[in-house]
Structure formats: structure tokens, C-alpha cells
């Protein structure tokens, strides 16, 4: 394994691990705050119990997310020192703002966890809202950094150096808002459907009760709404990619030749030797229409760019298909939930539908991971698009396969810890017979 491949593999593993907890850290505080809001409005103790259960889960996953995020910050400097030396002044502002948002989230999460019966109900709800907003801000600022790497602006590039830096212009690059919105909605979608799937499994295993029914409904409301809004977000992001990263667009769509009225491909396998995408279902003019809102627009193909600037087209294309496929299934599942809820409520007592929700539990995170692979692999061979190549940014320290193997072992250990902690937490949720006692206890303490 080359040092470049080892460094990239270590970053990929760290990001793939961290993004799960970062996404839950964005979405679960919103759900726990909505549950508390419903308790304050209705006085229904089931919502109070749900808010407390989700708060404990948030605390566990926040701690693991903090550990993995800290590791990533060190890896940026240790594995990619040339990148940090060249671009550190440009991306320093969003990273600093992310740090402030992280500390705000930690402080108010502490107030939320230990403030029951110690602060007023309004102040406690306010603390939960700050946790949710801080998680949202933290994800947004980090995504701004990645957006700048995809569409770098706000500087002058002289003799291989970034000079005359304008931090706000750099932070608000053309990809900043579309990519951040898409990422946040993906987090809400993934965590919402995963939570609904877990509570569906518990309801199927332990019998129907209002605790799980309320949890499923609330989680699906968050996840389903996010899945619907992803249609608008994805359209905006696709048009940005078409305008600013034509090589990435051509790669994820398997578009080898510049074409007017380019087709949209569903499935298929790009063959870089034959310069064609085989076995795909093609929708005439579909890509031109989606990317430029014109059926006769010209889409630039990979043939306009040197092969040295191509990413791994088959991997990018397949990951994009996986992302779109999983997202489409979740959108269809959301529509089914709305239909069943209006036709014959409550849909949370339909066993077949609950089993479908259980099966769909990982789909949001699969789409999330595949989407980040499209974002990162589609930018290769650049670490900063058009200015700094990945191979020129890696550390000169040799034998990087050893820290890669060491960090892999650490992450596997953390994964086991997370599964153990969350399993214990999930097992502690009330079944049908324990629900009344749990509610009585929460009312007494409230």
C-alpha cells in the first residue's frame, strides 16, 4: 500500500465513522426538542418520557462523535500538512466557528440533561433548542470547508500560494449553501428513518404501545419531511455541480462524450477503456433537463478533460446510483406513511409496514455514506479543485499503513462500545407492560 493510499484510506475510514455520529448529533436533538415541545403543549407524559430517552441517546452518541471528530482534526494536520500549510488561512474561519458551535452544543446539552426540575420548563426547552441549533450550525460550518475545497474562491493564487485571502468570500463559496443544506437534510433523513426503524422493531418485539407509536410518528415526520425537501436541495446542488465541476457531473452520470440533450442514466457500469456506460437505462434529454433546466442544453463529457484529471468514474457513478436509489426508496416510504395515515390510521399498528420500516433502518446512512463518497472521490485527483492535487498534499512521513491499521483497530473498538451502550439503552425502553409505570415515574419527577 502506498503512503498516499494509506493516508486517503485512513481519512476515508475516519470520515465514514464520524459522519454517522455527526448526523445523529444534528438530528436527534431536534427530535428530542420536538418531543418536549409536544409535552409542554399537551401535557401528555409519553412525550416527556420520549424526550428523556432520546436525550440519553444523544449524550452517548455526542461523546463518541466528539472523540472521532477530534481524531479527524489531528489527522488533517498529521496526514495532510502541505494542504493545511497552504489553505489553513482560508479555511480557518469556518473551522473556528464550528468549534464555537460545538462548545455551545456541549454546554447546553449538559443543561438539558441535568436541568430537569432544576430550571424552569421554558428555560429547559430553550436549552434543548440551542443544542439542536448548535448541532445544525456545527455541521454547516464544517460543510462550508468541504464546499470551498470543491469550489475554491476568495483568494489570489500566486506562485503556488493562496494570497490576498477574503475569509467571508471563501467561506461562502458557490457550493456552500447547496452542499450544506443537502448535508443537513441528509442527516435529518438518515437519523429520522433509523429511529423510526428501531422503535418499529421494539414495537414488533414487545407489543404495541403509545410510546413507540409516538416515537415512530415523530421520527418519520422529521425523516420524511427531509426526504421530500431533498428533491429541491438535490436539484440545486446538481445544477451547481454542472456549472462548477463538470468533470464530477460527467463522472457521476457516466457521460463520456459532450452531448446536446444528454440522457439521464439509471444504473449501468462505466467502461473507461471503451468510453461508454454499459447496461444503463437512458431517459432521453434527462440529464440536460435536470442539470440545466433545458432539454437541449449541452453537457460536457469526460472527453473534454485530460484523463489525468478524471476520478475513478465507475466508483463515483455506482456510489451516486446507490445514493439516489436509497433516497428514492425513503421518499416512497414517506409517501406510503402519509397515505396509510390518512386512509386507515394509525399506520403504526400495521405489522407489514413496521417490518418495512425495520428493513429501511440503514438506508438513510447508506445514502449518506455513498453521497460523501461521490463528493470526495468525484473531486479527485484534487484536494482543492483545480489548484492543489491530493498527491502533493500528503505528508512525507513513511510507512503510513501502520497508523492506518492502528486507527482502524481503535475505530472498531469504539464501534463495539457504541453498539454495547446503545443496545443497553434500547433494551431499557419500556415495553407494553412497563409503560404505565415508566410514565407514572416521569410524571412524579416532573
The CA-atom distances, in angstroms, between 229 and each of 183, 200, 225, 233, 235 are 12, 24, 6, 6, 10
pLDDT digits (tens, 9 = 90+) for 141-199: 999 999 999 999 988 888 778 888 888 888 989 999 999 999 999 999 999 999 999 88
State the DSSP code for 392: G
Phi and psi at residue 43, in whole multiples of 5°? 75, 5
Answer whether 279's CB lies under 8 Å from 217's CB: no
Q: At what angle do helices 210-244 and 246-253 cross, to 10 degrees?
A: 120
**C-alpha to C-alpha distances, 350 to 121, 340, 357, 416, nearest whole angstrom:** 35, 9, 11, 33
Contact 288, 262 (CB under 8 A): yes
Please report the pLDDT score of residue 67 as a whole number.
78
Residue 205, pLDDT score = 82
Dump pLDDT digits (tens) for 426-440: 666 665 555 555 555
Cell of 370: 455513498
Question: Are 128 and 160 in contact, with CB atoms under 8 Å apart?
Answer: no
Q: What is the pLDDT of residue 444?
A: 52
Give pLDDT tens digits for 60-70: 888 777 777 88
Q: Is the pLDDT of residue 423 over 80?
A: no
CA–CA distance, 48 with 332 (Å, rounded to integer): 31
Q: 389 in helix, strand or coil?
A: strand
- Would you place residue 115 in the very low, low, confident or very high pLDDT band (cuts 50, 70, 90)? confident
Residue 36 has which C-alpha cell?
418536549
Are 37 and 122 spatial neighbours (Cβ–Cβ below 8 Å)?
A: no
Q: Which residues contact 43 (CB under 8 A, 6 or more apart)?
A: none
Task: Reply yes or no on whether the pLDDT at 315 is more than 70.
Answer: yes
For residue range 4-57, what is the model confidence (pLDDT) as tens digits? Answer: 888 888 888 888 888 888 888 889 999 999 999 999 888 888 888 888 888 888
State the number of CA atoms in the 13 A half-sphere of 196 facing the CB.
32
Non-local (6+) Cβ contacts of 164 within 8 A are 155, 156
Amino acid at each position: 500500500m502506498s503512503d498516499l493510499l494509506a493516508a486517503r484510506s485512513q481519512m476515508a475510514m475516519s470520515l465514514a465513522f464520524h459522519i454517522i455520529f455527526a448526523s445523529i448529533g444534528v438530528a436527534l436533538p431536534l427530535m428530542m426538542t420536538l418531543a418536549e415541545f409536544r409535552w409542554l403543549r399537551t401535557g401528555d407524559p409519553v412525550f416527556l418520557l420520549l424526550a428523556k430517552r432520546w436525550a440519553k441517546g444523544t449524550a452517548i452518541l455526542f461523546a463518541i462523535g466528539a472523540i472521532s471528530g477530534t481524531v479527524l482534526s489531528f489527522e488533517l494536520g498529521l496526514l495532510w500538512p502541505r494542504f493545511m500549510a497552504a489553505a489553513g488561512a482560508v479555511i480557518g474561519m469556518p473551522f473556528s466557528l464550528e468549534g464555537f458551535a460545538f462548545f455551545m452544543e456541549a454546554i447546553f446539552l449538559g443543561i438539558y440533561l441535568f436541568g430537569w426540575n432544576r430550571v424552569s420548563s421554558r428555560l429547559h426547552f430553550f436549552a434543548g433548542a440551542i443544542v439542536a441549533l448548535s448541532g445544525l450550525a456545527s455541521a454547516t460550518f464544517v460543510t462550508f470547508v468541504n464546499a470551498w475545497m470543491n469550489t475554491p474562491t476568495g483568494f489570489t493564487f500566486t506562485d503556488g500560494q493562496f494570497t490576498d485571502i477574503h475569509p467571508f468570500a471563501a467561506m461562502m463559496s458557490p457550493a456552500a449553501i447547496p452542499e450544506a443544506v443537502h448535508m443537513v437534510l441528509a442527516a435529518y433523513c438518515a437519523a429520522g428513518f433509523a429511529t423510526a426503524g428501531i422503535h418499529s422493531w421494539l414495537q414488533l418485539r414487545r407489543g404495541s404501545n403509545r410510546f413507540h407509536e409516538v416515537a415512530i410518528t415523530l421520527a418519520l415526520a422529521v425523516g420524511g419531511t427531509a426526504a421530500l425537501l431533498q428533491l429541491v436541495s438535490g436539484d440545486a446542488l446538481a445544477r451547481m455541480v454542472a456549472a462548477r465541476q463538470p468533470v464530477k457531473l460527467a463522472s457521476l452520470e457516466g457521460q463520456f462524450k459532450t452531448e446536446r440533450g444528454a440522457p439521464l442514466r439509471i444504473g449501468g457500469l462505466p467502461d473507461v477503456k471503451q468510453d461508454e456506460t454499459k447496461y444503463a437505462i437512458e431517459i432521453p434529454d434527462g440529464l440536460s433537463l435536470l442539470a440545466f433546466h433545458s432539454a437541449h442544453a449541452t453537457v460536457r463529457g469526460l472527453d473534454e478533460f485530460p484523463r489525468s484529471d478524471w476520478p475513478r468514474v465507475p466508483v463515483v457513478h455506482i456510489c451516486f446510483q446507490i445514493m439516489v436509489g436509497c433516497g428514492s426508496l425513503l421518499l416512497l416510504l414517506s409517501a406510503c406513511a402519509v397515505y396509510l395515515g390518512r386512509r386507515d390510521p394509525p399506520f403504526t399498528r400495521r405489522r407489514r409496514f413496521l417490518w418495512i420500516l425495520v428493513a429501511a433502518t440503514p438506508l438513510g446512512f447508506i445514502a449518506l455514506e455513498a453521497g460523501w463518497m461521490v463528493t470526495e472521490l468525484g473531486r479527485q485527483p484534487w484536494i482543492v479543485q483545480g489548484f492543489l492535487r491530493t498527491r502533493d498534499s500528503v505528508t512525507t512521513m513513511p510507512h503510513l499503513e501502520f497508523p492506518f491499521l492502528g486507527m482502524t483497530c481503535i475505530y472498531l473498538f469504539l464501534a463495539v462500545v457504541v453498539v454495547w451502550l446503545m443496545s443497553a439503552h434500547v433494551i431499557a425502553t419500556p415495553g407494553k407492560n412497563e409503560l404505565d409505570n415508566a410514565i407514572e415515574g416521569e410524571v412524579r419527577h416532573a
